[in-house]
Structure 1
Amino acid sequence: MSTEPGSQPETTPGPAEAAPPKRRIGLVFSVAVLGFALDLVTKVLVVSNLEGQEPVRILGGAVYLQLVRNPGAAFGMATGMTWLLAIVAIVVVCAIIWLAGRLRSAGWAIGLGFVLAGAFGNLIDRLFRAPGVLRGHVVDFISVFAPNGDVWPVFNVADSSICVGGVLIVLLSLLGKDYDGSSARGAKKEAA
């Protein structure tokens, strides 16, 4: 510490002056690549092994594996609007890629990585599967508690990724955790 007149004492930065958390772009893309790879591999296996087959009962009937080609969105919505769903997926993918460089929260990075994996997985189906570009049908294959989606609509790994990521993001938001690593609850306490 300097003792010269007019000099400032050396201090360590306080919590408000600490460096911001590191960016989480690598985490977003790591989760997205793993989720997309799992989705792609499972769809390839399902198409090659379940085409024209009866549903396969596993886990005592808790899950049935069967190939369903879905022209719409979840729960049978937007059938015939595959092109619009493809455009929405493109927008979602672009928005997440744009936001990824601004992320400083590991939780948000994981959540958005899951959403990116799912959106990209289903987008690939809509772009490259029959009947054609922007009209391709998504490969779904998981039916729970009964075959043919009688209890719950048939879904795939991409759909599950979107749901897991969405739930995580909503949970973080409810807990006041922002994508930039800040905490809305901490800001409210400081303002009070």
Structure 2
Amino acid sequence: MKTVAITAAVIFVLDQLTKWWIVHMMGLDTKGIIEVWPPFLEFRMAWNYGINFGLFSGQADMTRWVLIAVALGIVLFVLVWLRRDPPGLWGKISGGVLIGGALGNVVDRLLYGAVADFLNMSCCGIDNPYAFNVADIAIFVGAAGLVLFSDDGGKGPRTSRKKRA
């Protein structure tokens, strides 16, 4: 579980530092858009009161607390799953990445009432209207990693499990 905790802490700090630096230090919250490498990468301020793509953002205050509870429930579920059926190293890292991202967005909802999204990427004549953040990337990558690496890491049969006759 040490690997999970360290990975989660690194992702959480990375997420919060990027949000603090870009939103507050670079002034994205007042500028709205900062062109980094147009049109491929822009910092575009978006306060997300719902879930992905702003879904369920109608009842902002109620939604905020429900989404905080759901995120904490997912974190608890992943922790229990990793403890009961420990995967190999990549599975633990994936779990930590997901947990760190989820907690990063929980802190945003607690501090601001919404998640601070700022990364916007477009390509090939398609203008992407949506923004995301490091935590969103971590949640996606962590969930995918848990699917791919949720086995025992090739360690073979577990000695702690008893076979029933």
When normalised by structure 2's length, the TM-score is: 0.79
What is the CA–CA distance in structure 1 between the aligned matches of 2:111 and 2:36, rounded to whole Å? 30
What is the CA–CA distance in structure 2 between the aligned matches of 1:181 and 1:82, rounded to whole Å? 42
Map 1:14-25 to 2 at 5 A: 25=1
C-alpha displacement at 1:47, in angstroms? 2.4
What is the CA–CA distance in structure 2 between the aligned matches of 1:157 and 1:100, rounded to whole Å? 23
Which residue of 2 is the match for residue 22 of structure 1?
none
Letter of the structure 1 residue corresponding to residue 69 of structure 2: I
RMSD, matched Cα: 2.4
Matched positions, count: 148
Which residue of 2 is the match for residue 35 of structure 1?
11
Map 1:148-167 to 2 at 5 A: 150-151=127-128, 153-167=130-144
What is the CA–CA distance in structure 2 between the aligned matches of 1:39 and 1:83, rounded to whole Å? 21
Letter of the structure 1 residue corresponding to residue 72 of structure 2: I
Larger radius of gyration: 1
Provide the secondary structure at the position in 2 that maps to 1:52.
Answer: helix
C-alpha displacement at 1:165, in angstroms? 0.7
Over residues 59-92 of structure 1, what are the superposed CA-to-partner deviations in whole Å (9 max), with x where a residue is unaligned? 3421111221110111221113222211101101
1:137 to 99, 114, 128: 114
Over residues 113-145 of structure 1, what are the superposed CA-to-partner deviations in whole Å (9 max), with x where a residue is unaligned? 11101110001111222xxxxxx1110000111
Counterpart check, 1:94 vs 2:76 = yes
Which residue of 1 is the match for residue 65 of structure 2?
83
What is the CA–CA distance in structure 1 between the aligned matches of 2:5 and 2:129, rounded to whole Å? 30
On the 8 A contact 1:74/1:153 being kept in 2, the answer is: no
Which residue of 1 is the match for residue 161 of structure 2?
none
Counterpart check, 1:47 vs 2:23 = yes
What is the CA–CA distance in structure 1 between the aligned matches of 2:110 and 2:73, rounded to whole Å? 14
Distance 1:88 1:180, change over 3 A: farther
What is the CA–CA distance in structure 2 between the aligned matches of 1:70 and 1:108, rounded to whole Å? 29
Distance 1:172 1:50, change over 3 A: same
Segment of structure 1 superposing worse, 164-173 or 118-127: 164-173
On the 8 A contact 2:87/2:149 being kept in 1, the answer is: no
* Larger relative contact order, structure 1 or 2 (CA cutoff 8 Å, min sep 6): 2
Structure 2: where are the runs of 5+ without partners? 158-165
Letter of the structure 1 residue corresponding to residue 79 of structure 2: I
